[in-house]
Structure 1
Amino acid sequence: MREMISMIVVLTVLTAVSGGLLAAVKSGTEVQIENQILKFQKAPAIQDIFPEATNDPLAERFTIKTEDTELQIFPTLLSDGSKAIAFETKGGAFGGPIGLMVGINLSTDEIVDVRVTTHAETPGIGTRAKDDLSFVSQFSGLKIDTNFALKGDGGVIDAMSGATVTSKGVSVAAAQAKDIYQKLKPEIVKQMK
């Protein structure tokens, strides 16, 4: 009985110490991880969406918090003087979540462009959503109230051949962006002034 109690005490101490160490490592690397995500995932996507931006969207980013989401907004001034924003949404795909950075012109409520930021899709098949811009370019210039579903589901987007699940994940992410934008546009405009 005494041996069992001492084993329980030792295991409890070991798990408490291990848990504390893991928590310390996580909190110590959170800022670095966020900076790496900004630098290597979000920044290239924003640069591709807004190549002629006259400001630094990363430096001017702000966060909008609602009851169910926390959204990082990247405000942009376009070369023609109009204002635009970019933010990231996620849709489920074959390999897991697929991140989509969506750029929207605030004056026209049109999508400027979209870029896939993160994915775990099959190389050569699902990865084409990020590598081959012919798929994501279908979103450019569409009004935000467009049905972003695949044509087979009643929408306007052509699926990539052999990567229907990935195509659907991108379409779902675009539809989420539409819902978020329509819900939060007044707050976004207010914060950009």
Structure 2
Amino acid sequence: MGEMIKMVVVLTVLSIISGGGLSWLKDFTEPKIENQVMNLVKGPAIRAMLKEAENDPVEDRFKIKDGEEERTVFVGVFGGNADTVVLESEAAGFADKVGMVVAINMADETLRGMAVTTHKETPGLGANAKSDPSFAAQFVGKPAKAPIQVSKDGGSISALSGATITSRAVCVGVTKAIEKYKDLKPQLEEQIKAMGK
């Protein structure tokens, strides 16, 4: 019986040490991972999409509470006004989730751009959602009011050849970003005002 208690105590101590070590490792690496993702994945897409911005939208970012979730919002300054916000979004594609960033001009409530950041779509087909500039260009100037859809579904976005599912996923992701923008608009305006932009 004494051996059993000894074993339970040892296992408990080892579990506490392991759990604490893993928790520390997560806390230590999380900011580094976020920084790498920002610099190598999201940052280049956002900077390319807002290349005419007078600021660095990746540097001018803030976090905002969305219920239980915390969202990162990027801000673009054009003509001296911080009038563009970039929100992250995702939707189920053909192979897996398609991640994207969506820029919305708050002044005229139109899309300033969209860029796919992560995906596992088929090379040469769905993967073109990230690499084909003419696909992304279709979103620029669209009103941020109604759902965005491919032409097969009654919308104005021409689907990528052989990749309708991926094209629909991008449209769903953009629409989700628009809905999130509408929900968060008062908070976004407040936060941008507080930034002095």
Of 158-167 and 110-119, more deviation after overlay is shown by: 158-167
Alpha-carbon contact 2:135-2:160 (below 8 Å) kept: yes
CA distance in 1, matches of 2:2, 2:153: 66
Distance 1:125 1:18 in 2: 44
Residues matched between the structures, number: 193
Distance 1:57 1:123, change over 3 A: same
Contact 1:82–1:107, Cα closer than 8 Å, also in 2: no
Normalising by structure 1, what TM-score?
0.87
- 2:73 is aligned to 73
Change (3 A) 1:15 1:164: farther
Distance (Å, rounded) in 1 between the aligned partners of 2:23 and 2:130: 34
Q: Deviation at 1:2? A: 8.4
Structure 2: segments with no counterpart, 5+ residues: none
For 1:172 and 1:90, the matched residues in 2 are separated by 8
TM-score, with normalisation over the residues of structure 2? 0.86
User: Structure 2 matches for 1:168-179, cutoff 5 A?
Assistant: 168-179=168-179
3-state SS in 1 of match to 2:35: helix
Please give the alpha-carbon distance, in whole angstroms, between the structure 2 residues aligned to 1:95 and 1:18. Answer: 35
Alpha-carbon distance between aligned partners in 1 of 2:18 and 2:162, rounded to the nearest angstrom? 45
What is the identity, as a one-letter code, of the residue corresponding to 2:160?
Answer: M
Mean Cα displacement is larger for which, 44-53 or 117-126? 117-126
Shift in Å, 1:156 = 2.2
Q: Is the 8 A contact 1:50 1:78 kept in 2?
A: no
Residue 63 (structure 1) shift: 1.3
Q: State the alpha-carbon separation in 2 of the partners of residues 187 and 97 from structure 1.
A: 28
Q: Percent identity?
A: 41
CA distance in 2, matches of 1:170, 1:20: 40
Q: 2: CA distance between counterparts of 1:20 and 1:54?
A: 44
Question: 66-75 vs 31-40, which deviates more?
Answer: 66-75
Deviates more, 1:7-16 or 1:155-164: 7-16
What's the CA shift string for 1:37-67, capped at 9, x where partnerless? Answer: 1111121111111111111222221111021
Gaps of 5+ in 1: none
> Structure 1 residues 157-166 or 178-187, which shifts more?
157-166
| C-alpha RMSD over aligned residues | 2.2
Deviation of 1:191 (Å): 1.3
Please give the alpha-carbon distance, in whole angstroms, between the structure 2 residues aligned to 1:152 and 1:7.
65
**2:186 corresponds to which letter in structure 1?**
P
Alignment of 1:34-183 (within 5 A): 34-79=34-79, 81=81, 83-183=83-183
Spell out, residue by residue over 1:111-152, the C-alpha distance to the aligned partner (whole angstroms, 9 max, x if none).
011101111222222211101111121111101013312222
| Paired residues of 2:54 and 2:80 also in contact (CA < 8 A) | no
Q: CA deviation at 1:33?
A: 0.5
